[in-house]
Amino acid sequence: MFHDTDLLTCTIWDDLLFPGSCPEWARAEASKRVRETDLFLFCDTDLPWAPDPQRCFPDEAGRAMCRRVFLEKLEATGARWTRVYGADAEREARAVAAVELLLNRCANR
């Protein structure tokens, strides 16, 4: 199963947009779910900014801050993750390769 947004992501955005308002139960549940997640695909910020009404932090400093916050949280929670970067087919190939590696490991258990 693939998720675009999970509870960990929600807690990070809560901290970024509404500091101090994230309930502790959400943080605890997010940490539990991280341990149950096989792999996070971290889509890096190496692509040009494409504005839309849902996106925040369009400036370079804001994007760098968000990148740092997400990576720090992945590391702090012990999440298994891989960085997806590059453009178009290269980016897609990195994501596919990471998922295929995970599936092969699961099949060989």
- pTM of the prediction? 0.89
> What confidence score (pLDDT) does residue 73 get?
95
Question: pLDDT tens digits for 19-52?
Answer: 999 999 999 999 999 999 999 999 999 999 888 8
Residue 4 has pLDDT above 90, yes or no: no
Secondary structure element (H or E) that encloses residue 83, with its range: strand 81-84
Please name the residue ranges forming H helices in 1-109: 7-17, 24-36, 60-77, 88-107
